[in-house]
Each structure stands twice: as C-alpha cells, then as structure tokens.
C-alpha cells in the first residue's frame, strides 16, 4: 500500500512490510506516490473473555456487535472465535490470533471476566494489547443481560499490575459496541508505533557537531525502549559514498529528482543532482545491508561542517526525500530527534520533519500579517526552521537552494558551490503537533507534546521554515522547554495527534510528559503573581 502526500494534505492507508533492496527501476514512479514500507502493517484481533459464572453468550454476542460496528466504520477486525473462561481457553485464543497473523489484540470484557486468564493474554501474546469493557445496553434487561464488566475492569487492572504487564487502557474503557469500535480505531496508531519501535534500528554517522551538547544521546534508554542503535563514523559513510560513484541507478534517481523539483525554479542546480542521487543510493543500500535482525530504520547523521567539504554538497534535499518515504534522517546526529520523528511517522502514516524552535516572530510582521486573523498573541508564535530537511510535499512551494549560514563559514559568502543542496520554502499551513521524546544526561526519559498550527503568513526568510502558533507558547517555552532543558530540535507531525502520542509515551513508561498548559493552569514553577 502507499501514502499519497501533497502540501498540507494527508491521506493515510496501511503500510507494507520491510522494503525490498533498491532496484534500477525503484524511482520510476508517480511523483508523489511513496511506499511507506518502513512502518508496520497492522492486523488487529479481538478476544472476548467471560467469567464462568456469567452467561458466556452475553460476552460473545457483544463481541460480534463490536466487530460489526468496527467493520462498518473502519475496516477489518479479526474476530477470535474462542471465548476465554480459563487458562486453557486463553492459550487456544492467543494461538488462534497468532495463527491468523494478528500483531495487535483487543481483550474485551463482555462481562466481569476471569482475572487470571484475561491478564495472561498480555503475557502470552507478543504484541500490543488493549483492554476494554462492555457497557450495559438497557435498563430493561439487568438480570440475565447484566455483565458487570465495569467492575471487572478494576480487577483486570489490578492483576495486570500484579504481574508487571503493560497494556493499553483508554481514558474511559467502558462503552457500547459503537463506542468501543471508536476506541479500537484509536488504538491502531498506538499499536503500530509500539510494533515499529520494537523492530527499529537507528543508524548514525558521525559524532555530534562540535559544541552541540544539546543533542546528547544516552544509549541505555534506547535499549530500554527496545530500540537498537548502530553507530558509524563519517569516514564509513564517505567510503560507502565513493563506492557508489558509477552506480547505474544514478540516472534513474536523477530523473526522479528532476520530475519532483519541476520546471518552476525548483531545480537551479541540475549539475548537483548526480552527486545527491549517489548519496541517496548510499543511504538506501546501507539501510538494507545493515538493518540486520530489525525491520525498520531511522538515521541520525552529521551534516556539517565537514560534510559539504568532503561530499561537495549539503545532504538536506536527500534527507527530505527519504523522510517522504517514511525513513527519518535527523540532522546533527540527533538520535532522539530521529526516534521522535519515527514515532510521528507511525502515528500519522505521513511524512514528518525535524525543526529548530528557531526564532521569534518580529512584532511588525505579526501585526501586519497575523494579528486579527487568528486568536494568538505574539508570544504564542515562533518560527520553526531547518536548512532543508522538510519534504517538498509539506512546503507551499520549494526548491533546491544553498545553506546560507554554511556558505558564510565555508565559502566566505562567495558564489555557493559545496554548500548547495538544501530544500527551501515556507512550510504549508495547517494543523501540526510539535513533540519530542528525550533522555536527560543521567538517562531519564521525558517528553513534551504541543498541538498548534502553521500559519499562512509568509516568513520572508530562508531555509525550510514556517510561522508556528501554539496556544500559550510563551509560558510553555519558559516552563517546559527551558526549565526542563530540552534541546532546540522538535519533531513535527502534520495534524493533531497529541492524544495518540501521549498514550504511546505513557505505555512506554515515560513518567514526565509535558504539554502547553492552558491559561489559568499554572506550571509548578510558574509565578502566580506574574
């Protein structure tokens, strides 16, 4: 399956399994049709459980109603026919789900439920598990039609904790068939992300740029999350790049780049494309050759200052192309930035980006182009920027340019040569979620999530850049980003996904998850008299 992506438009479908090795015709595709094969393909099943002193048909009939409601609205949901009353039933039901290819499960308490068997499902099944319970349907049938699942969920939760088992439980896990179908749909991106992290390898090239301590990356928490990491030097990458110098696939990649950039000024440096195509093939081949036992890959690569000197271009445009296919490439060896991007990718099934929380919006620009059009203050806004890693499909209009800051450093501000290769343009307006999962220097995981939007106002600046607005951003900036010492990079998903990302982080055991608190809700350190 594929995901079709255009500026500020998202169409989500499923995703396939691990990608095939690059072939000569890999790039001979419709321009914006990208195969999101770097995220899991999800198949979810549902198992109903029943306490043996309750009527088993009540649980079974309620399960069937959920499946019917789900399929009517969302698509396939595998119905495990074996209803669980005891441990033998549990083993049989889990086997049935596994044999059917399910990699995520919903455990449904159609009545009170059997405490031990129902919770052991989470141990025996190798994948994310969600627990929900049936609401009573009518006051006219509270004798044989009463299931007491509302009560059973309490004991279920107790037993999950007793066995140190993780499970996903919705905010209010009790509902009718239609309500539970909606909860199961909300579980899907959570499950997809958890499966993705379980099989993710982050590949890095190079150390952090000098004096970039903010991109610190304690490794232990990555392993605690189930993520593998492969660290390589910039020299390893350069050697691999040179080995692709005469790769016969380069011409096909150049043709694809040319088609993507178009004829309206997006491709001012056609002589640069063969080098960038060579680099793209280098990363794609490295991914296939080095993923090893893992199915999915994200990169975190050093991109300055030595990169343009030795490779003779900036890698940004290539990075943008990979992320548009669901392969995050974080700048400046930001390992936790790559991890955050991958989470956003799995959640949204769409391209993501990684941006600097970069500069304030000038007052005159705000008053001329924003004030009065939206209900934001100046402090609610900022500019998110990076050199050019945001995919073309997420820009209003973009093209290949040069890295102005590096040009000053490496080429004395003269006619750009080696600093060419960025992808620049204003980011398309629309809803966004700004977020990051990060380890502190002493190995403690913390995160933030903030929903907002990219405004339609022009930036009048350079790079891949947009004017972002997040309610109460000024307070969030001070009492979360600064106070909790988050680095300058944030991942951006294009849409509002805060609820899902929060659920994922809590499932992963991240105890400190911050958000942009609304006006009147004080942060612990906030001065109440300010």
Using CA atoms in the order 254, 256, 260, 262, what is the torsion angle rounded to 10 degrees?
Answer: 60
- Section 392-405 average pLDDT: 95
C-alpha–C-alpha distance, residues 183 and 170, integer Å: 7
How confident is the model over 93-134, as pLDDT tens digits?
999 999 999 999 999 999 999 999 999 999 999 999 999 999
CATH class of 44-196: alpha beta
pLDDT for residue 324: 95
pLDDT for residue 275: 97
Residue ranges per structural domain of the chain: 44-196, 199-515
pLDDT for residue 54: 93
How confident is the model over 377-390, as pLDDT tens digits?
999 999 999 999 99
pLDDT at 6 over 50: no
Cis peptide before 305 (omega within 30 of 0): yes
C-alpha–C-alpha distance, residues 159 and 254, integer Å: 58
> In DSSP terms, which residues pair with 34 in a beta bridge?
3
Confidence of residue 153 (pLDDT cuts 50, 70, 90): very high
How confident is the model over 405-460, as pLDDT tens digits?
999 999 999 999 999 999 999 999 999 999 999 999 889 999 999 999 999 999 99
pLDDT for residue 23: 37
Confidence of residue 9 (pLDDT cuts 50, 70, 90): very low
pLDDT at 4 over 90: no
Q: Which of 131, 134, 132 is nearest to 62 (CA)?
A: 134
Mean pLDDT of the chain: 92
393, burial (CB in 10 Å: exposed 0-12, middle 13-18, buried 19+)? buried
The angle subtended at Cα 200 by Cα 99 and Cα 240, nearest 5°, is 125
How confident is the model over 222-266, as pLDDT tens digits?
999 999 999 999 999 999 999 999 999 999 999 999 999 998 889
User: Left if phi > 0, otherwise alpha if psi is -120 to 50, otherwise beta: which for 265?
Assistant: left
- Section 311-318 average pLDDT: 96
How confident is the model over 461-503, as pLDDT tens digits?
999 999 999 999 999 999 999 999 999 999 999 999 999 999 9
Using CA atoms in the order 256, 262, 263, 268, what is the torsion angle rounded to 10 degrees?
Answer: -80
> pTM value?
0.92
Residue 148 neighbours by CB distance under 10 Å: 16
The percent of residues above 70 in pLDDT, for the chain, comes to 93
User: Would you say 244 and 264 are in contact if contact means Cβ atoms under 8 Å apart?
Assistant: no
End-to-end Cα spacing for the chain: 53
**Residue 362 phi/psi, 5° resolution?**
-60, 145
Tally of residues, the chain: 530
In sequence order, the 6+-apart residues with CB closer than 8 A to the CB of 72 are none
> In DSSP terms, which residues pair with 438 in a beta bridge?
446
In sequence order, the 6+-apart residues with CB closer than 8 A to the CB of 468 are 381, 382, 383, 384, 432, 434, 452, 453, 454, 455
In sequence order, the 6+-apart residues with CB closer than 8 A to the CB of 485 are 440
C-alpha–C-alpha distance, residues 189 and 39, integer Å: 11
The percent of residues above 90 in pLDDT, for the chain, comes to 86
Q: Which of 240, 342, 341, 238 is nearest to 287 (CA)?
A: 240
């Amino acid at each position: 399956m594929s995901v079709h992506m255009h500026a500020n438009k998202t169409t989500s479908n499923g995703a396939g399994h691990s990608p095939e090795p690059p072939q000569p015709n890999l790039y001979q595709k419709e321009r914006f049709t990208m195969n999101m094969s770097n995220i899991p393909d999800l198949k979810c099943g549902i198992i109903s459980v029943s306490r043996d002193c309750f009527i088993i048909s009540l649980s079974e009939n309620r399960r069937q109603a959920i499946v019917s409601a789900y399929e009517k609205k969302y698509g396939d949901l595998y119905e495990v026919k074996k209803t669980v009353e005891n441990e033998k039933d549990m083993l049989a039901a889990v086997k049935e789900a596994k044999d059917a290819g399910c990699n995520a499960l919903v455990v449904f308490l159609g009545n009170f439920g059997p405490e031990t068997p129902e919770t052991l499902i989470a141990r025996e099944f190798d994948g994310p598990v969600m627990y929900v319970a049936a609401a009573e349907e009518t006051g006219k049938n509270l004798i044989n039609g009463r299931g007491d699942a509302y009560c059973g969920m309490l004991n279920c939760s107790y037993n999950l904790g007793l066995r140190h088992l993780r499970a996903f439980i919705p905010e209010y896990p009790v509902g009718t068939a239609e309500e539970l179908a909606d909860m199961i749909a909300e579980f899907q991106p959570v499950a997809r992300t958890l499966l993705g992290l379980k099989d993710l390898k982050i590949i890095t090239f190079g150390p952090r740029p000098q004096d970039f301590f903010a991109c610190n990356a304690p490794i232990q928490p990555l392993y605690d999350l189930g993520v593998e990491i492969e660290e390589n030097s910039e020299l390893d990458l350069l050697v691999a790049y040179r080995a692709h110098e005469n790769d016969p696939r380069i011409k096909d990649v150049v043709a694809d780049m040319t088609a993507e950039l178009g004829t309206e000024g997006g491709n001012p440096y056609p002589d640069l494309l063969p080098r960038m195509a060579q680099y793209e093939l280098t990363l794609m081949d490295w991914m296939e050759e080095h993923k090893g036992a893992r199915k999915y890959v994200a990169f975190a690569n050093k991109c300055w200052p030595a990169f343009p000197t030795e490779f003779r271009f900036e890698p940004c445009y290539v990075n943008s192309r990979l992320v548009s296919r669901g392969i995050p490439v974080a700048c400046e060896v930001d390992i936790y930035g790559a991890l955050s991007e991958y989470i956003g990718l799995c959640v949204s099934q769409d391209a993501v980006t990684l941006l600097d929380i970069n500069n304030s919006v000038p007052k005159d620009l705000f008053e001329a182009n924003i004030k009065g059009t939206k209900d934001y203050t100046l402090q609610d806004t900022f500019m998110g920027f990076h050199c050019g890693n945001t995919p073309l499909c997420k820009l209003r209009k973009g093209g290949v340019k040069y890295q102005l800051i590096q040009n000053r450093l490496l080429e004395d501000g003269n006619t750009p040569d080696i600093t060419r290769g960025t992808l620049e343009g204003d980011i398309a307006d629309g809803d966004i979620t700004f977020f990051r999962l990060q380890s502190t220097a002493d190995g403690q995981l913390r995160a933030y999530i903030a929903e907002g939007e990219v405004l339609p106002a022009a930036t009048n600046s350079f790079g891949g850049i947009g004017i972002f607005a997040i309610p109460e951003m000024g307070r969030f900036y001070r009492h979360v980003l600064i106070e909790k010492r988050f680095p300058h990079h944030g991942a951006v998903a294009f849409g509002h996904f805060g609820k899902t990302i929060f659920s994922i982080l809590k499932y992963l055991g991240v105890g400190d998850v911050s958000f942009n608190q609304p006006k009147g809700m004080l942060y612990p350190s906030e001065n109440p008299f300010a």
